[in-house]
Structure 1
Amino acid sequence: MSFLLILFISCFFCLGKATDCGGNNVTQTIIVGKQEDAAFSTIQEAIDSVENDNDKWIKIHIQAGLYIERVTIPKEKPCIILEGEGSSTTTISYSDHISMNHSATFTSLPSNVIASGITFKNSYNVVTKRYKYYPVGSEIEPANAARLHGDKYFFYNCSFLGYQDTLYDQYGRHYFKDCYIEGEVDFIYGSGQSYYENCRINVLGRFSDSAGFVTAQGRSSSDDPDGFVFEGGFLGGNGKVNLGRAWQPYSRVIFHKTYFSSIVTPHGWSAWHYAGNESGITYVEVDCGGPGADTSNRVSWMKKLNTSEIEQFSLASFINKDGWVDNLPIESS
């Protein structure tokens, strides 16, 4: 089954065409897997085979299966597409928690990277049952399923599985569409400028006596363009969870038309280390629904935006002013 990137973006949003990677044509396909037509048995071997400073789209098709390996796309290898055969059948998994920048199952450093139909999993903290007590200091550590440090990334129908710090959305413009993200503690975090469309966010909820945090966004200056925008989608799971806490003083997270289950705490947000200095923090909920969307008891400093201000956080305005999303490789079959 071959597929990639079915985008339903009207021409109204086409503000220009990016020319990175030679347009929207795929010039080569490399197959990874255990079947006879596979050129490589590991994903890393396929990535390593791509020439440095590549400037044309190269697809690495990953056959269904479990790949237990740490995968890195180095900075000198842009324009790579990782295409799985579905997030339920194609999984990259590893177990590590050494450090924030060196423990990720999947690390991507160059610009122009696309992934579809893949599950990225860090199995270090992942268990199958809920615990009443879990010794956080000795058992649970930050363990990234993915670390993303490059501009112009698109993830379609991918899953990110972990517990603490699952998705390190570190830097650059990133577009996540129809993805699944799982965790409990700061499991979507970083300083990325990212748009999450129709994504399902699942909270694991191991602890009955404390609430987790979906986001820990790290905008450090009022001039920085970054932030996390969630458009549509669903937030559910077990236990209780806050929508976010401020990793940096200008942390910015917007939920628009997202469905919240009852697991969301009444106050919703935390200033964390910036209590008393909340004026720079931008946390917003607009037209959200569900039993967890009642904002009557939210923190008093949560921002309210008018219609024109909300438009600044649309896909076109927030991450696609140069039209890079519109010029991605598209296959309809």
Structure 2
Amino acid sequence: MGYSKMALYKTNSERSIANYNHIIIITNIFILSTIISSSMASSSSSSIDFSTAILIRVDQSGKGDFNKIQEAIESIPPNLNNSQLYYIWVKPGIYREKVVIPADKPYITLSGTRASNTFLIWNDGEDILESPTLTIFASDFVCRFLTIQNKFGTAGRAVALRAAADKAAFYGCVITSYQDTLLDDNGNHYFKNCYIEGATDFICGSASSLYEKCHLHSLSPNNGSITAQMRTSATEKSGFTFLGCKITGSGSTFLGRPWGAYSRVVFAYSYFSNVVAPQGWNQWGDSTKQNTVYYGEYKCYGPGADRTQRVKWSKQLSDDEATVFLSKDFIGGKDWLRPAPSHFKVAPKSNPK
């Protein structure tokens, strides 16, 4: 694989347009395969006992079932029609590994003990698809209380988390890098009480995602961007909603800029510190996108929420306009979000691959 946003930073060149179209083709192929996998998995979801999960323990001290997170994932049998939840409990520690949840292993929960003492760390950059510390290809995935870091630094794209499957939820996680921290790639996703940190386009992608009560921290010294949403047509469902969130940081940052021509981002009931640039939004060097993007704010507050100098092509949403963005219906969450299991079974003994 290997699509790159490098070309997108050169929006006025023919090479940029060619590379952008290449990205769309690759992304659409992957979305199609994900939809097929998700439909197969969803057919058996009604038979799953969501209160009970098979427990797999990861502990670097050797007192668990596995020493590494990826070993625990590989021990789970592939099954698109999985009728069993798996709960991987990661004991406190620093786990230096690159982790992938494959598409044929749905209904996994990956849980740290606390984000402040359970770390998944890798150091890789440049390629937006190959660099992620944690990549999710499986549907119905849940992540809890885990810090996910890419420590590549400021030299280029370095993804900490790539969510590339439908129905993924993240609770109380810390997600940090510098550029392209969170590749919110495709599918319906939910983030609650998460801390997300970066400088350039640090929440980007084509997903339909609801961020609720999350803390977004910008490291940009001068006019970076929090979001780069990639919606490419007026009929595409995707978009990012930030509900009851908080924006802090240093320097200055835009709320978003359009990776796709129909980029859609809404902030509602959110606190903006003075790190938010007065203009609010950036056109990414292409004035034609002003006519197609959907950038909205609704009842936000704080020194950065003053809309006096906002770009005219952003919206102060009315009550009616905001309604569609203010609940889990935006991601169909009432149909797939599930509580944490309350009962656990011992994992059957098996050797990792």
Q: TM-score, normalised by structure 1?
A: 0.86
Identity over aligned pairs, percent = 38
| Over 6 Å off, 4+ runs | none
Answering whether residue 67 of structure 2 is matched by residue 56 of structure 1, we say no
Counterpart among 182, 185, 200 of residue 167 in structure 1: 182
1:23–1:328 CA contact under 8 A, matched in 2 = no
Q: Indicate how the Cα distance of structure 1 residues 197 and 37 shifts in structure 2: closer, same or farther if over 3 A, else same.
A: same
Partner residue in 2 for 1:329 = 340
Q: 1:23 and 1:310 mapped to 2: Cα distance?
A: 35
Counterpart among 95, 102, 105 of residue 74 in structure 1: 102
Counterpart among 287, 290, 299 of residue 278 in structure 1: 290
Deviation readout 1:61-109 (Å, 9 max, x if unpaired): 0000000000000111111000101110000000001411111000010
Task: Give the AA of the match of 2:128.
Answer: M
Partner residue in 2 for 1:133 = none
Q: 1:243 and 1:23 mapped to 2: Cα distance?
A: 41
2:270–2:300 CA contact under 8 A, matched in 1 = yes
Partner residue in 1 for 2:113 = 85
Partner residue in 1 for 2:307 = 295
Deviation readout 1:233-289 (Å, 9 max, x if unpaired): 210011101000000010000000110000111101012143133121010111111
Q: Trace 1:5-24 onto structure 2 (pairs within 5 A).
A: 19=45, 22-24=48-50
Answering whether residue 65 of structure 2 is matched by residue 65 of structure 1, we say no
Counterpart among 147, 154, 160 of residue 145 in structure 1: 160
Q: Indicate how the Cα distance of structure 1 residues 260 and 194 shifts in structure 2: closer, same or farther if over 3 A, else same.
A: same
Tell me how far 1:150 sits from its aligned partner.
Answer: 0.5
Answering whether residue 58 of structure 2 is matched by residue 38 of structure 1, we say no
Answering whether residue 198 of structure 2 is matched by residue 198 of structure 1, we say no
Task: Give the AA of the match of 1:97.
Answer: G
Q: Trace 1:244-323 onto structure 2 (pairs within 5 A).
A: 244-320=256-332, 323=335
2:273–2:303 CA contact under 8 A, matched in 1 = yes
Counterpart among 110, 129, 147 of residue 101 in structure 1: 129
Q: 2:145 and 2:231 mapped to 1: Cα distance?
A: 30
Task: Quote the RMSD (CA, aligned, Å).
Answer: 1.7
Q: Bigger CA drift: 302-311 or 260-269?
A: 302-311
Alignment size in residue pairs: 298
Task: Give the AA of the match of 1:71.
Answer: V
Greater relative CO (CA pairs within 8 A, separation 6+) = 1
Q: Indicate how the Cα distance of structure 1 residues 277 and 181 shifts in structure 2: closer, same or farther if over 3 A, else same.
A: closer
The structure in which a higher percent of residues are helix is 2
Tell me how far 1:299 sits from its aligned partner.
Answer: 0.4
1:92–1:118 CA contact under 8 A, matched in 2 = yes
Q: 1:26 and 1:45 mapped to 2: Cα distance?
A: 22
Q: 2:274 and 2:289 mapped to 1: Cα distance?
A: 29
Tell me how far 1:331 sits from its aligned partner.
Answer: 4.6
- The unaligned stretches of length 5 or more in structure 2 are 1-43, 344-353
- The unaligned stretches of length 5 or more in structure 1 are 1-17, 126-138
Q: TM-score, normalised by structure 2?
A: 0.81
Q: Indicate how the Cα distance of structure 1 residues 89 and 236 shifts in structure 2: closer, same or farther if over 3 A, else same.
A: same
Task: Give the AA of the match of 1:24.
Answer: F
Q: Secondary structure of the residue that 2:335 maps to in structure 1? A: coil
